[in-house]
Amino acid sequence: MAPGQPARPASGSASEVALSVVVPVFNEEAVLVEFQRRLNAVLVGLGVRYEVVYVDDGSTDQTAHLLQRLQRSHPGISYARLTRNFGKEAAMSAGLQLASGEAVVVIDADLQDPPELLPAMLAAWRGGADVVNMRRRERLGESWWKRATASAFYHFIERVSDVPIARHVGDFRLFSRRAVDALNQLPERGRFMKGLFAWIGYPQATIDYERSARAAGETKWPFLKLVGLAFDGITAFSAAPLKVATLFGVASAGSAFAYAMFFFFKALILGDAVQGFPTLIVTMLFLGGLQLLCMGMLGEYVARIFTETKGRPVYLIDVYEPATVPSNASAGQ
Ligand code: UDP
Ligand code: MG
């Protein structure tokens, strides 16, 4: 458990709740009620004890109000509000800490991940998988630019990462209790969840699905934030960029040497007076740029070491209202 976090709620020990559904939420007033309606319809049909853990990631719209109202009217809902917007990765980490189910599903609130797939996920879990990955066949409602950059990112990280990070699998997944316990043990502050999910290993299953367009509201991931996430992922799961710097160094030093030899013999044999101001300036700028680039790459890692050494908690909880009973009442059992 992350330092400074509240202990797991008293209600619903691991044996009482079969399924926890963790939902990170940030300014989703437009879809929340519809999401809960669809999710609830599926959960009731499952006939297992469940809880829904909503983590409000410092929303500034009516989300907090709506969630508190839902929490009061549905016995199976827990509501945790973070003290500010910590980002989806932190909100998911909070939800995974608070979830007490034997199986835990992480799902987006915007209905891009259809709750109707829960029975198939549970079936795969019962079939022995500790992690059920949901792979997107289609990414409806996403621009070609987002699809292209996402695809480039997955290709790149697949090549450089120390652990195989599944392509086109987002955060919509199911985890067994032991997989969640393993995730909760990981102490890092930089939480690139797709990487951590892959890192834990365990038997995995994959289900393909059509990812629908967002039901309402807007994406909370503007392009630059996604680029930041991509950087976090690459630096957390690969030292390849650092090695690239070494390669650059060796290559440029090698070519500089060859070039020097060339001039030496040219001057010696042809008696050519040294001119080459343009060559000089281009070489200088090229090397200067390369050095800055490599320093920048180093800096990316140093910055992350800095964050880790401070050892601050990943998130802070402001309000926590646990599920009143591990709900099977609303499941009709
Ligand atoms: N989210 C969050 N904190 C954030 C950003 C997003 O908890 O800082 C939640 C958001 O409410 C949604 C999920 O993460 O439930 C996915 O976000 P979004 O749909 O905006 O991402 P996209 O599907 O566009 O990648
Ligand atoms: Mg979305």
Task: Using the mean position of ligand 1's atoms as its centre, give its distance from the Cα of residue 220 in Å.
Answer: 5
Q: Cβ distance 82 to 58 under 8 Å?
A: yes
pLDDT, residue 246, reads 78
Residue 156's identity, in one-letter code, is F
Q: What is the DSSP letter of 216?
A: S
What is the three-class DSSP state of 269? helix
pLDDT, residue 273, reads 64
> How far is residue 208 from each of residues 19, 135, 139, 290, measured CA to CA in Å?
21, 5, 12, 42
Q: Cβ distance 26 to 57 under 8 Å?
A: yes
Please list, residue by residue across 119-137, b when 16 or more beta carbons sit within 10 angstroms of its beta carbon and e when fewer do: eebbebbeeebbbbbbebe
Q: Which of 108, 193, 227 to mutate to test the pocket of ligand 1 (most atoms within 8 A of CB)?
A: 108
Task: Using the mean position of ligand 1's atoms as its centre, give its distance from the Cα of residue 183 in Å.
Answer: 20
pLDDT, residue 325, reads 63
Helix or strand run (H / E) with residue 19: strand 19-25
Q: How far apart are CA 63 and CA 57, in angstroms?
A: 10
Please list, residue by residue across 172-182, b when 16 or more beta carbons sit within 10 angstroms of its beta carbon and e when fewer do: bbbbbbebbeb
Tell me the H-state helices in the chain.
32-46, 63-73, 88-98, 118-126, 144-160, 177-185, 193-199, 223-237, 240-270, 277-310
Task: Using the mean position of ligand 1's atoms as its centre, give its distance from the Cα of residue 219 in Å.
Answer: 6
Which residues have their alpha-adjacent CB atom under 5 A from ion ligand 2? Answer: 110, 112, 214
Task: Using the mean position of ligand 2's atoms as its centre, give its distance from the Cα of residue 140 in Å.
Answer: 11
Task: Using the mean position of ligand 2's atoms as its centre, give its distance from the Cα of residue 122 in Å.
Answer: 22
Q: Cβ distance 90 to 57 under 8 Å?
A: yes
pLDDT, residue 21, reads 95
Tell me the whole-structure pTM to 2 decimals. Answer: 0.76
Which one, of 104, 65, 61, 57, lies nearest residue 317 by Cα? 57
pLDDT tens for the 333 residues of the chain, in order: 343 343 344 444 444 669 999 999 999 998 999 999 999 999 988 888 899 999 999 999 999 999 999 888 888 899 999 999 999 999 999 999 999 999 999 999 988 899 999 999 999 999 999 999 999 887 666 788 888 888 888 888 888 887 888 788 889 999 999 999 999 998 888 888 888 888 898 999 999 988 877 777 777 777 888 888 888 888 888 878 887 877 887 788 788 778 878 877 877 887 776 677 767 877 887 788 778 888 888 888 888 888 888 888 999 999 998 887 655 544 433
Q: Cβ distance 230 to 194 under 8 Å?
A: no
Q: Which residue's CA is minimally distant from atom 17 of ligand 1?
A: 220
- Kindly state the tokens that stand for 284: 């200088």
- Ligand 1 atom with the smallest distance to the CA of 226 is 25
Q: Which residue's CA is minimally distant from atom 25 of ligand 1?
A: 221
Ligand 1 neighbours (beta carbon < 6 A): 24-26, 28, 57, 85, 87-88, 91, 108-110, 112, 214, 219-221
- Sorted by sequence, the CB contacts under 8 Å of residue 280 that are 6+ apart come out as none
Q: Which residue's CA is minimally distant from atom 8 of ligand 1?
A: 87
Which one, of 61, 73, 72, lies nearest residue 25 by Cα? 61
Residue 298's identity, in one-letter code, is L
Ligand nearest to the CA of 222: 1
Residue 4's identity, in one-letter code, is G
pLDDT, residue 131, reads 94
Q: Cβ distance 151 to 80 under 8 Å?
A: no
Q: How far apart are CA 64 and CA 102, in angstroms?
A: 27
